[in-house]
Amino acid sequence: MPVVTMMPSGKKIEAAEGVSILHAILDSGESIPHKCEGKAECGSCHIFVTEGKKSLSKIQRVENEKLDTLVGIGSKSRLACQALLGGENITIEILSFM
């Protein structure tokens, strides 16, 4: 099972492969902004993936279109609700706080 390390807290959670980063975090009892409940509409779940990005699902059109509307995106940007975990551990930086 892949491990997600969440920065800046440094907390680690285990999640099943194929689960979105958002659901992995919420299912573990941790929190992350998710105003549209995972529909790729709000952008509040914007994260940077600092390690393991290649193991995630590819960015689909709906995610790419939303990322294009956000301020402060970079090459490590993903929407936690759209990025599905692969088999490798990842490290993410949560950019906004509830």
Using CB under 6 A as the criterion, which residues of the chain lie in contact with ligand FES when the complex forms? 34-36, 38-45, 66, 79, 81
Q: Nearer Cβ to ligand FES, position 52 or 83?
A: 83
* Nearest-approach distance from CB 39 to ligand FES, in angstroms: 6
| DSSP conformation letters of the chain | --EEEEETTTEEEE--TT-BHHHHHHHTT-----TTSSSSSS-TTEEEEEE-GGGSPPPPHHHHHHHHTSTT--TTEEETTTPBP-SS-EEEEE----
Q: Nearer Cβ to ligand FES, position 2 or 83?
A: 83
* Nearest-approach distance from CB 17 to ligand FES, in angstroms: 20
